[in-house]
Amino acid sequence: MSARVDPQLLLELKKYGAVSVEKCFNCGNCTASCPLSTNGETFPRRLIRYAQLGMKKPLLGSKELWLCYYCGECTQTCPKQADPGEFMAAARRYAIASYDPLGLAKLLYTSPVLSTVFLMLLAMLIGLVVYTSHGPMSTETLKLFEFIPAAAVHNFGIGAMVIVALTGLVNTVNMLARVWRENVLLNSPNIRLNWLSALWETIVEVLTQRRYQRDCETDPDKQAWFLQKWFIHASMLWGFLGLLVATALDFGLELLGIKPTGTWVPLWNPVRLLGTLSGILLIYGVTVAMLKRFRKADEASTVSTASDWALLILLWLTGVSGFILEVALYLPQPTAWAYWTLLFHISIAVELLLLLPYTKFAHAIYRIIALYFHAIKPVAAAETAKARTD
């Protein structure tokens, strides 16, 4: 079967980043230097060839696209300065936009001015809608969730999560279908695969960043562990997940009538402690990531798009405003700025949540799927050999 080619693919990819792989003459240095490349997964070389030849379907259906952690080794060893590492990042942005039928991801990635205006207007709109439910500002004690009722906050949050779940599901199904079609192993009915053990391997990798630590940390001895790329990446992941769990637990405790949302509890309360530590992790990871990009500290942070900065800024504002609110709860006297900080925090947090399927954060989901497909292997080599001869 012949593959359909798109002669405009390389030009389209250039809209999503500093793509210069037209310089590539297929020497293979990038694959040889990539710590994650194997006999069956020769990236980024294979993906570069897909782009050069206009093979859109294989590119968008490649699980290898999402396995890359952008260590920058391939870019450093490229004799033609084709920057294969940035190509992989641009290809991921292009893929996220291609999986999105609404076209919002494409706007965020390819139109910096329009996307900035859109993000500002969206935050203002969310803030205005939330403000319509406001109540009085207590001057005796800090009562944040009388100013913005807890029920309204929960309703906004649930509504945003439903929208994200529905739109994210559509995008994820598009990605999953493309990867499934391109993965020959999954379409071999005579081969038994390790579906369950692959799931466990994927969970371990996502939570521990094992491959990132072991294979992709290029100079682990030159930097303290808390400045290494894997830990910065992991701290943002752990911080976001921890805050999500803490928020869900807080909501659950109110539903059970145990603790109303926003009431004072000791700092060592398990839910409050989880939220505090997660917030610190998130703020730390995002702050260091922003500093690295500002200073262009390594290959992975040399090229930064407006969409990269937008996501980091939204994460940082969400984390810092949440931390300020927590500090306000323990002050001896209520302050008016705490109420406005709450409105700002809700607006930014809801906006961040709504944009998850369309920003770089979406690749966290796509990477999990790709890692799962990567972990799927034949149960026994002998059975695979037998199936191939049948």
Higher-confidence residue: 18 or 339? 339
Among 163, 178, 153, which Cα is nearest to 60's? Answer: 178
User: 389 lies in a domain?
Assistant: no
pLDDT value at 286 more than 90: yes
User: 219 lies in a domain?
Assistant: yes
Number of structural domains in the chain: 2
Angle at 331 between CA 353 and CA 336, to 5 degrees: 65
pLDDT value at 26 more than 70: yes
pLDDT for res 151: 84
Residues 60 and 109 in one domain: no
Q: Rounded mean pLDDT of 21-45?
A: 84
pLDDT for res 3: 61
Highest mean pLDDT among 38-52, 241-255, 350-364: 350-364
Q: Which residues of 9-24 are buried (b: 16+ CB within 10 A; e: fewer)?
A: bbebbbebbebbbeeb
Q: CB-based burial of residue 162 (10 Å sphere; 0-12 exposed, 13-18 middle, 19+ buried)? A: exposed
Q: How far apart, in whole angstroms, are the C-alpha atoms of residue 327 and residue 335?
A: 11
pLDDT for res 245: 92
User: 150 lies in a domain?
Assistant: yes
User: 333 lies in a domain?
Assistant: yes
Q: Which domain holds residue 288?
A: 104-375
Residues 272 and 353 in one domain: yes
Residues 222 and 343 in one domain: yes
Q: Which residues of 221-251 are buried (b: 16+ CB within 10 A; e: fewer)?
A: eeeeeeebbbbbbbbbbbbbbbbeebbebbb
User: 350 lies in a domain?
Assistant: yes
Q: Return the axis-axis angle of helices 84-99 and 150-182, rounded to nearest 10°.
A: 110
- Show which of 58, 82, 99 is a domain's final residue: 99
Q: Rounded mean pLDDT of 240-269?
A: 83
User: 3 lies in a domain?
Assistant: no
Residues 207 and 321 in one domain: yes
User: 326 lies in a domain?
Assistant: yes
Residues 344 and 324 in one domain: yes
Q: How far apart, in whole angstroms, are the C-alpha atoms of residue 179 and residue 59?
A: 9
pLDDT for res 216: 82
Residues 364 and 345 in one domain: yes
pLDDT value at 383 more than 70: no
Residue partners of 314: CB distance under 8 A and separation at least 6: 119, 348, 351, 352, 355
| Averaged pLDDT score across all residues of the chain | 88
pLDDT value at 213 more than 70: yes
- Show which of 39, 74, 99 is a domain's final residue: 99
Residues 176 and 209 in one domain: yes
User: 4 lies in a domain?
Assistant: no
CATH number at residue 80: 1.10.1060.10
pLDDT for res 380: 67
CA atoms within 13 A on the CB side of 182: 24
- 175-211 pLDDT, tens digit per residue, is 999 999 888 777 777 788 888 999 999 999 988 888 8
Residues 59 and 176 in one domain: no
pLDDT for res 389: 53
Residues 94 and 109 in one domain: no
Q: Rounded mean pLDDT of 325-334?
A: 87
- Tracing tokens 């080599």 back to the chain, one arrives at 381
- 0.85 surpassed by pTM: yes
pLDDT value at 1 more than 70: no
pLDDT for res 382: 46
Q: How far apart, in whole angstroms, are the C-alpha atoms of residue 54 and residue 4?
A: 8
Q: Encoding tokens for residue 353?
A: 């949540």
Contact 362, 166 (CB under 8 A): no
- Show which of 99, 131, 166 is a domain's final residue: 99
Angle at 204 between CA 177 and CA 96, to 5 degrees: 35
| Mean pLDDT lowest among 35-39, 125-129, 280-284 | 35-39
pLDDT for res 13: 94
Among 180, 182, 172, 193, which Cα is nearest to 375's? Answer: 193
Residues 94 and 132 in one domain: no
Q: How far apart, in whole angstroms, are the C-alpha atoms of residue 342 and residue 340?
A: 5
Among 366, 377, 303, 381, which Cα is nearest to 41's? Answer: 377
Residues 189 and 124 in one domain: yes
Contact 51, 59 (CB under 8 A): yes
Residues 126 and 225 in one domain: yes
